[in-house]
Homo-oligomer: A and B are copies of this chain.
Amino acid sequence: MQSLWKHPNFLQIQNTPQFGIDLRSSNLHTPERIKNMNFQTPYWRISLVHQDITQQGLHALGLLALNRQALNWMQAMQRGELVNSLEGSPHAVAALHTALRANQENGMLDIAKKVRIQAIQERSRIKDFVEAYSDFNTLVVLGIGGSQLGPEALYEAIKPFQAPKREVVFIPNIDPKAHKQWADRLPLKKTVVAAISKSGSTLETAESEKWWRSALTKQGLHSSKHMVAITTPGSRLDRPEDFLGVFYFDSSIGGRYSATSSVGALPLAFAYGMQTFERLLQGASEMDAHARDTPWSSNGPLALACISIWQRQLRKRLCQGIIAYRQSLHRLAAHLQQLEMESLGKCTDKQRQPLEGYCGPLIMGEPGTCAQHSFFQWMHQGTDCVPIDFIIEMSKMGSTTLEGSMADQLIANALAQSLALAKGYASEQSHQVCPGNRPSTILACSDLSPETIGALLALYEHKTAFEGFILGINPFDQEGVELGKRMAKEVYQELEAYRAQTLQATPWWAHLMSSN
* Interface, chain A (partner B; CB < 8 A): 28-29, 31, 34-35, 38, 40, 42-45, 47, 49, 86, 144-146, 148-149, 159-160, 163, 171-178, 180-181, 184, 202-204, 207-208, 210-211, 214, 255, 318-319, 325-328, 334, 337-338, 341-342, 344-348, 352-355, 357-360, 362-364, 366-370, 372-384, 386, 392, 394, 398-399, 402-403, 405-413, 415-417, 419-420, 424-425, 429-435, 442, 444-446, 477-484, 487-488, 490-492, 494-496, 499, 506, 508-509, 511-516
A338 touches B374 (CB 8 A): yes
CB contact between A382 and one of B42, B341, B372, B431 (< 8 Å): that residue? B341
B488 touches A412 (CB 8 A): yes
Known contacts: A178-B160, A358-B384, A374-B149. The answer to whether A345 contacts B405 by CB under 8 A is no
Top 8 closest pairs, chain A to chain B, by CB: A345-B378, A145-B373, A381-B480, A160-B177, A178-B327, A412-B492, A380-B480, A341-B375
CB contact between A210 and one of B376, B402, B415 (< 8 Å): that residue? B402
Known contacts: A177-B328, A417-B484. The answer to whether A346 contacts B511 by CB under 8 A is no
A509 surroundings in chain B (CB, below 8 A)? 47, 415, 442
Number of copies: 2
- Give A153 to B344 CA distance when docked, in angstroms: 30
B431 touches A516 (CB 8 A): no
- Give A425 to B342 CA distance when docked, in angstroms: 18
- Give A40 to B363 CA distance when docked, in angstroms: 34
A515 surroundings in chain B (CB, below 8 A)? 446
A406 touches B207 (CB 8 A): yes
A445 surroundings in chain B (CB, below 8 A)? 516
B173 touches A512 (CB 8 A): no
Task: Across the interface, name the chain B residue whose C-beta is closest to A45.
Answer: B512
B430 touches A353 (CB 8 A): yes
Known contacts: A319-B319, A420-B483. The answer to whether A512 contacts B47 by CB under 8 A is yes
A173 touches B367 (CB 8 A): yes
B496 touches A381 (CB 8 A): no
Task: Across the interface, name the chain B residue whose C-beta is closest to A344.
Answer: B378
A373 touches B318 (CB 8 A): no
B175 touches A163 (CB 8 A): no
Task: Across the interface, name the chain B residue whose C-beta is closest to A424.
Answer: B483
- Give A362 to B358 CA distance when docked, in angstroms: 19
- Give, as a whole number of angstroms, the nearest-CB distance from A423 to chain B: 8
B376 touches A484 (CB 8 A): yes
With most chain B CB atoms within 10 A of its CB, the pick from A369, A386, A417 is: A369
B149 touches A406 (CB 8 A): no
CB contact between A346 and one of B45, B359, B381, B399 (< 8 Å): that residue? B381
A481 touches B45 (CB 8 A): no
A444 surroundings in chain B (CB, below 8 A)? 512-513
- Give A164 to B413 CA distance when docked, in angstroms: 35
A327 surroundings in chain B (CB, below 8 A)? 171-173, 175, 177-178
A415 touches B377 (CB 8 A): no
Known contacts: A174-B410, A180-B160, A491-B412. The answer to whether A378 contacts B399 by CB under 8 A is no
A319 surroundings in chain B (CB, below 8 A)? 318-319, 362
- Give A368 to B513 CA distance when docked, in angstroms: 19
- Give, as a whole number of angstroms, the nearest-CB distance from A147 to chain B: 8
B362 touches A384 (CB 8 A): yes
A42 surroundings in chain B (CB, below 8 A)? 516
A34 surroundings in chain B (CB, below 8 A)? 508, 511
B480 touches A326 (CB 8 A): no
A477 surroundings in chain B (CB, below 8 A)? 431
Known contacts: A177-B160, A348-B431, A367-B173. The answer to whether A359 contacts B334 by CB under 8 A is no
A345 touches B379 (CB 8 A): yes
CB contact between A481 and one of B337, B373, B429, B484 (< 8 Å): that residue? B373
- Give A352 to B415 CA distance when docked, in angstroms: 30
